[in-house]
Structure 1
Amino acid sequence: MSSEESLLEVRDLRVVFTRGGRRINAVNGLSYRLRAGEMLAIIGESGSGKTVGARTLMGLLPPSAEVSGSARFDGTELLGLSERDIRRWRGSEIAMVFQDPARSLNPTMRIGVQITEALREHSDLDRKAARARAVELLRLVHLPAPERRFHEYPHQLSGGMRQRVVIAIALAGDPRLLVADEATTALDVTTQAQIMELLVELQERLGMAIILISHDLGLAASYAQRVVVMYAGRAVEYAPADRLFAGVRMPYTRALLGAIPLLDRPPHGRLPVISGQPPDPAALPDGCPFRPRCDLATDECGEAPPLLEHEPEHWWACWHDAAVPAVPDVASAVNGEEGVRR
């Protein structure tokens, strides 16, 4: 993908926090690109840097964070923007949906007030027009009885309904990029599927791009067009979803796939696990950070492998050719007959 095709281009992004005299490398050279209208899944274990990288785009890091690298959105460099400019971009160009909808909403304010506040922040609508648009947004996210829900409080809604409200608020500024940070993790399986189908519908209807941040490779296989796999703060494999799941190259991605509970596996059996623990971001090992947990590790892995495009549109960071025929259709193996929605 050339720079001209990219809506968002992240290059060598690094984020360091200092706590108790320790320097924590939360993001350690992250690079990827995103096309307009595309869904990109960023996958990895907890602590891999997925959320910190997304918060960097939104300007939501504490002032003490040390940030370097580049994040260009439609040609504009986001890193280093003033707080005033960041506030103008946040919501109107890039919006974010977080994991817990209960914490994203003010429990003391009615739903309609929270949406109209967001609308008036990003537009010159008067009170009456903002109210009408808020109801329209609630209808857009398929919230039942939107006129009645407009007057209700968050505690009167189910978890899935609250997440729909949060998505409606995120859409108030007509963003071109929506970042969904573990947006379905706190929901039951049925509601997860409904929210994901809603995001796909909104993506197609509004033409916006989506970054789906998750630890769930099944979601990536089902919905994303492109996948970034993160480990220890950096991208270790990056490819179109169908190509990646047809033959993974990075041993960490292979290990993640092996740990997925698949429908065709014997019931009541032990689930495969990845041995060891992710590295401490304040004390990253020399060389490849996955080396202590990798069954292909050799002395060569004492030097960190770069993320390179070894095959057309397929990038990975590994010294070894770890090609492994993956499950032919991971989405079907995880979700049954529904399979891939891409």
Structure 2
Amino acid sequence: MISNQIDERLFKIPPKKVIKTNQDYKAQYSQEISFKKGDFFYVIDEDDLYYSIINPAEKITGLVPKIFCDALDKSVKRKTQYADYTYNSLNRGKYRAEYNNKHRDEYDSYGNKYTIDSSDVPKEDVFTTKIISCGPVENNRFLITIEVAKPSKNKKLIIKRLYDDFFAMQSILLKLFPKEAGRVERYERIIPFVPPAPNKVMTNYNNKNHMEKYKIELDNYVKGISKMPYRIQNSFPVRRFFLLRSNDTETELSLDRNYSPERYNDGEDFLDLLSDYEETFLPLKIIFDHRPYRLEISDKISFDRLWTKIEDFLDLDIVDVYFKDEEGYEIPLLNDIDLANFIKTRRFHLLLFVE
């Protein structure tokens, strides 16, 4: 948005690194600047979310979100999280779930009791969400309309977000909560998986079946976010995502004739509860020795049963199963919690890697 004129003395300070933007971005907050894909900036400072940059071409300074930039400095190139795997063979594979239960950390880096139990969500702050519609708009962008109910405040919001907003929130969450993202050893991932970019999974937006499946995955994602532990619900990226913008609307729930208090009490309706008991078979793509294979699995399959099914299918003993998260990090699949989250929020785009 608003940027400051550069103090000429900044040009005499060597930049910490040079970055290149990987997509277009329009500034949304104070001190951010807009940019095009392929722009180069000099970094003069940084924190967990932003680079503080100078733009030598336009002679301005400002903030750019780190998730939309690639660092050209060799020392900060992203490394695969589990490239140097520290588990020995005894603690991998089938033994990981047992190891996870016995040896997981009990305290976080601040000395507070660490839990990933969603029961720490205060009842009065619970909000519920559902996807109303989704589809392409001008400039080949994908727009999602979301209904957000906040019973404790008697409010209902109708918000419109681009897919870019979803991915931006998700990328920051994965960095802010590495344990809940599965990026810390021995911790299963509980943060829901955001669906892949629509242009990567749908070649034809007019295909109603494909669009409906994609809408289901988006719906599972936003509902998953609404049921996260309070520290995630109340985090900066989630609060920013749900803040009212100029094209959003806010009304009172009591004025909505279609509103039912029972519907929002626990965040689940009848179809949600029914899906917990119905079994559905889904296609799973696995990559082994750089070759793709396809098999069908139940959405209620256990971690041990999946492991055995893959071994029987490949007719060999395997030592590892992992997925790649939204930013390409290799994360080991740990247990039933991990697997259930993976299947529920990526049910139509299941991809695992096997060693």
Tell me if both proteins adopt one fold, taking TM over 0.5 as the criterion: no
Pick the TM interval, shorter chain.
under 0.3
Greater gyration radius: 2
The two structures have a TM-score, normalised by structure 2, of 0.23
